[in-house]
Amino acid sequence: MVKRFFERFYVLIIFVLLYAPIAILFVLSFNASKSRAKWGGFTFKWYGELFHNSDIMSALYTTLIIAVLSATIATIIGTVAAMSIHNSRKLPKMVLMNATYIPILNPEIVTGISLMLFFIMFKINLGFITILLGHIIFNVPYVILNVLPKLRQLNKHTFEAALDLGATPTEAFFKVMLPELLPGIITGFLLSFTFSLDDFVITYFVKGAGINTLSTKIYSEVRKGIKPEMYALSSIMFLTILVLLLIVNKRSEKQEKKAAVKG
């Protein structure tokens, strides 16, 4: 019993630690005072003003567009790449796998500066395009690593069975293989989306002047103090994601239960 108590207490402490800053941000989003050090009374006004702050709105827009685009493109490239890795022979496979791990294992700062040097070398203007490219390059390996295991689980013969039953290779791919790979592809997409949404270091090095994502916007405000609208925005985003995740969880739970009843 004592052990149980200590375990619970320990988990509680860690979770308090994890959520304390988030609680602070929530509180600050309702703080009438512009300074984070002073409590100026309760207000909803930042939630309203947020939508009139063109800086924040444009940063939000850039962040979302880049996240959606980079995740989508990285998912396509990563899925095709995973299939090619899966089908290559032993030696090229090893080389390709190791190369795939480079952006994951490399410190982000090194990836960031290497891409910055690369873009400047090829005279690509730092801006929207370079951020997008940077995120795609960073995300592709995560898609590959999520799709590859599904490819390994895939029953080779289902594809052949589809051909045998009269499907063209294209039909066989879309109707038989793709559905089985889908869970890996979706996980890869969601991971990419999340990384892109939260990325700071790579964006920071490849973004150039005049464009900001939320992360770089926040970083630029750290010294002079972050605008309260930002707290409001992040609170909204956090709650939105929490609700979305809870819905997804509930759904998959229900599906599992259904499957369990059937099985």
Partner 1 sequence: MNKKLLASPYIIWILIFTILPLALVIYYGFTAQTPDGIVFTLDNIKKISDPLYWKAFLLSARLSLLCTVICLILAYPLALILAKSGNGKKTLLVFFMILPMWMNFLLRTYAWLNLLEGNGVINTILQFFGIPKQQLVNTPFAVVLGMVYNFLPFMVLPIYNVLIKIDDSLIQASSDLGANKFVTFRKIIFPLSLPGVISGITMVFVPAITTFVISDILGGGKIQLIGNIIEQEFTFASNWHTGSGLSLVLMVIILFSMAIISKFDKDGEGAGLW
Looking at residues 159 to 198 of the shown chain, list those that interact with partner 1 (rule: CB under 8 A). 169, 173, 187, 191, 194, 198
CB of 166 to partner 1, least distance (A): 17
Q: What is residue 209's DSSP assignment?
A: T
Residue 58 engages partner 1 in binding (rule: CB under 8 A): no
Query: Taking Cα atoms as reference points, which of 211, 196, 216 lies closest to residue 143?
Result: 196
Q: Restricting to residues 2-41, which ones interact with partner 1 according to CB under 8 A?
A: 7, 10-11, 14-15, 17-22, 24-25, 28, 36-37
Provide CB contacts within 8 A for 101, sequence distance 6+: 141
Strand, helix or coil at 258?
helix
In angstroms, what is the minimal distance from the CB of 211 to partner 1? 16
CA separation for the pair 19, 28 (Å, rounded): 14
Q: Which of residues 106-135 bind partner 1 (CB under 8 A)?
A: 106-111, 113-118, 121, 133
- Residue 158's closest CA among 181, 176, 175, 144? 176
The vertex-101 CA angle with 194 and 67, nearest 5°, equals: 20
- Interface with partner 1 in residues 193-222 (CB under 8 A): 194, 198, 200-201, 205, 214-215, 218-219, 222
Q: Judged by CB under 8 A, which of 68, 88, 124, 167 binds partner 1?
A: 88
Helical packing angle, 90-105 and 54-87, nearest 10°: 160
CB 100 within 8 A of CB 145: yes
| Shortest Å distance, C-beta 22 to partner 1 | 5
Stretch that binds partner 1, among 41-49, 53-61, 68-76, 77-85 (CB under 8 A): 77-85
User: Shortest distance, CB of residue 172 to partner 1, whole angstroms?
Assistant: 10
Could you say which of 74, 145, 148, 211 contacts partner 1 (CB under 8 A)? 145
Task: Supply the minimum distance, in Å, between the C-beta of residue 185 and partner 1.
Answer: 14
Closest by CA position to 214, among listed 94, 64, 27, 77? 64
